Amino acid sequence: MSIMTLEDLWVDLPLPEGPRPLVRGVSFRLEAGQVLGLMGLSGAGKTLTACALSGLLPPPLRAARGRLRLNGHALDLSRAGAWRKARGSQVLLLFQGAGAALNPLMRVGPQIEEALIAGPGLPRRQARERAAQALERFGLGARAARSHPHQLSGGMRRRVLLALAWALRPRVLIADEPTNGLDAASRDEMSQMFSQLTQELGAGLILISHDLRGLASWADHLAVMDQGEVVEQGPTAALLARPEHALTHSLVESLAFLEGAHV
């Protein structure tokens, strides 16, 4: 059963001469435990789609249309007010660069606590316990919990975000370029931690990336975006074997070249 269905999402940039659509009619579905790769070149609208899904579109951008079915609830994405109540913290977006996602002025333990109080509405003591548990689950102890984000390494900051996700138990986890700038070993470690986390939560994972190589080995399904539209989607293996759209074609060709298949 799908845990999430997105239908006909449009995101507009309002301009004096009329709205300019930046995301145009995007639809896809996500099953529990599934990893969906949202692939495209920069400026294709991948991040905007993720922001719209999690209610975080930066003004003046707005969702002009779009229906989201989540856990049996139906939501009209163009009605901003409908958001908070129905969504809770069921769609969690982890931004590229863990530095940007964390509050630099707050110690990381209290940041997770705060999210648990504001989102699922836990009482403070319970929130504190769950935050400590979450950090420990990702190998971060009491000392890390008392640290400010800048005192932690990049890898530790990424694990703080995973701990946050674990504590909030979202149904849908969206990760925007989660492995950018990591070396091969850390990349594998990161993808393993993400996979375990989504399994454990029974959640679906949407991975956003412009690196097809990372996605090809990680995602079960791929959706290829170009100029605000999903131009092709399907199971990863099938899509890579028989690309139909010109962009998917050149992506697959480039991938084959980089993998050394046609040197």
Partner 1 sequence: MSEELLRLAEVFMAYHTQDPPVLDGVELAIGLGQTWGLSGPSGGGKSTLARVALGLERPQAGEVLFHGRSLAGLNRRERREFHRRVQVVWQDPYLYLPPQRSVQELIAEPLAVHRLETRDRRPGRVAELMELVGLVPAQALAKPHQLSGGQCQRAALARALACEPELLILDEALAGLDTINQARLVKLLRGICQREKLALLFIAHDPRLIRLLCRHEAVLAGGRLRLELG
Number of residues that bind partner 1 (CB under 8 A): 25
Is position 260 an interface residue for partner 1 (rule: CB under 8 A)?
yes
Q: Is the dihedral of CA 39, 43, 49, 54 positive or negative?
A: positive
CA 21 – CA 9 distance, rounded (Å)? 10
Q: Binding marks (x or -) toward partner 1, 42..71, rule CB under 8 A? A: xx----------------------------
Q: Which is nearer to partner 1, 1 or 263 (by Cβ)?
A: 263
The one-letter amino acid at 39: M
Minimum distance, C-beta of residue 96 to partner 1, in the bound complex (Å): 11
Minimum distance, C-beta of residue 151 to partner 1, in the bound complex (Å): 16
Nearest to 152 by CA among 197, 219, 107, 117: 107
Nearest to 226 by CA among 58, 63, 46, 62: 46
Is position 258 an interface residue for partner 1 (rule: CB under 8 A)?
yes
Q: Which is nearer to partner 1, 113 or 232 (by Cβ)?
A: 232
CA 69 – CA 53 distance, rounded (Å)? 11
Residue choice 1, 15, 105, 184 for contact with partner 1 (CB under 8 A)? 184
Structure tokens at 217: 């080995």
Is position 181 an interface residue for partner 1 (rule: CB under 8 A)?
yes
According to CB under 8 A, which residues from 194 to 223 bind partner 1?
210-213
Minimum distance, C-beta of residue 70 to partner 1, in the bound complex (Å): 30
The one-letter amino acid at 228: G
Q: Binding marks (x or -) toward partner 1, 125..154, rule CB under 8 A? A: -----------------------------x
Residue choice 16, 123, 183, 241 for contact with partner 1 (CB under 8 A)? 183
Structure tokens at 97: 């660069």
CA 225 – CA 175 distance, rounded (Å)? 16
Coil, helix or strand for 179?
coil
Is position 8 an interface residue for partner 1 (rule: CB under 8 A)?
no
CA distances to 49, 141, 147, 193 from 176, in Å:
11, 26, 24, 15
* Residue ranges that bind partner 1, judged by CB under 8 A: 41-43, 154, 180-186, 210-213, 250-251, 253-255, 257-260, 263
